[in-house]
Amino acid sequence: MKRAGISQEFFGGMRAMAPLTIAVMPIGLVFGAVAAGKGLSSLEATLMSALVFAGGSQFVAMDIWTHPASSGALAFSALLVNIRHLLMSASIGTKMPAFSSPAKYAAMLLLADEIWAMAEVRAGETRLTPAWYAGLAVPFYCAWVLASLAGAAAGAFLGDPQAIGLDFAFPAVFTVLVMGFWKGRDTGAVLAASAAAAVLAYQLIPGVWYIAAGAAAGVAATLVTTRRQEACA
């Protein structure tokens, strides 16, 4: 592809992503502020955003953060929260004939939910190019990392996030995301099973096992409802 074509594709992706890039900034600020409230330095909060680059798992990490940090528990919860990326990369991976093999793997490292969604939209309309994908991913990544740094730096001055309800920002983000996954009564069964198992495990077992318990119960619920529907059919 000609040089002009490449930059045109990059800016096209960047323009398509602009609303999401702007929307992620306040969430990055909140993450940085919450991390500072948990005792992370600005460097540590920024490093987490730069290396992990998965907001959901970073907020969960802040929820279960201990001193000293427990790598095993944090890695396990990141694995559980981010396992959805497996489906996303499996799906978008089949729509990347324009990517070389190394470019495909590099692209996957930046596969945040929002970038995945925009890439799927593009692939449905026309050929998804590496330049377009870079236009989606690079500005969004920079906005997330810089907003985290700003939030962590300001967080020390903001004081206790609980006083102004900011600690509720991430449960609120998850609540909105859960509503987005709603696909009818089957989802209701998944959510009910997950909530019941999670609350029970939360009361009985210390640590983050309630996330694993809820995830397992939710998946079990969907398999049971499928089997029942197949039996009725």
Partner 1 sequence: MTLDPDTFLAIVAMAAATMLTRVAGIVVIRFVTIGSQQKRALEAIPPAVLMAVIAPTALVTGPAETLATVATALAAMRLPLLPAVAIGVFVVAVARALIGA
Whether 175 and 57 have beta carbons less than 8 Å apart is answered as no
Query: Rounded to the nearest 10 degrees, what angle do helices 130-158 and 101-109 cross at?
Result: 20
Nearer to partner 1, 7 or 229 (CB): 229
* Rounded distance between C-alpha atoms, residue 95 and residue 117, angstroms: 13
- Closer Cβ to partner 1, 4 or 90, answer by number: 90
Instruction: Give the shortest CB-201-to-partner 1 separation in angstroms.
Output: 8
In the block, tokens 């907003």 appear at 147
- Residues with Cβ within 8 Å of 122's Cβ and at least 6 positions away in sequence, in order, are 13, 16, 128, 132, 136
State which residue, 61 or 131, has the beta carbon closest to partner 1: 61
Minimum separation from the CB atom of position 144 to partner 1 (A): 13
Supply 21's token pair. Answer: 């890039």
From 89, 135, 146, select the one nearest 112 (Cα to Cα).
89
Query: Of 52 and 150, which CB lies nearer to partner 1 in the complex structure?
Result: 52
Angle 199-166-176 from CA coordinates, rounded to 5°: 60
Please identify, using beta-carbon distances, which residue of 147 and 221 lies nearer to partner 1: 221
Q: Smallest gap, in angstroms, from Cβ of residue 139 to partner 1?
A: 18
Q: What's the longest Cα–Cα distance across the chain? A: 61
Distances (CA, A) of 49 to 39, 57, 112, 143, 144: 16, 10, 12, 10, 7
Comparison of 7 and 91: residue with beta carbon closer to partner 1: 91
Least CB distance from residue 37 to partner 1, whole Å?
14
In angstroms, what is the minimal distance from the CB of 2 to partner 1? Answer: 28
At 80, give phi and psi (nearest 5°).
-65, -45
CB of 16 to partner 1, least distance (A): 16
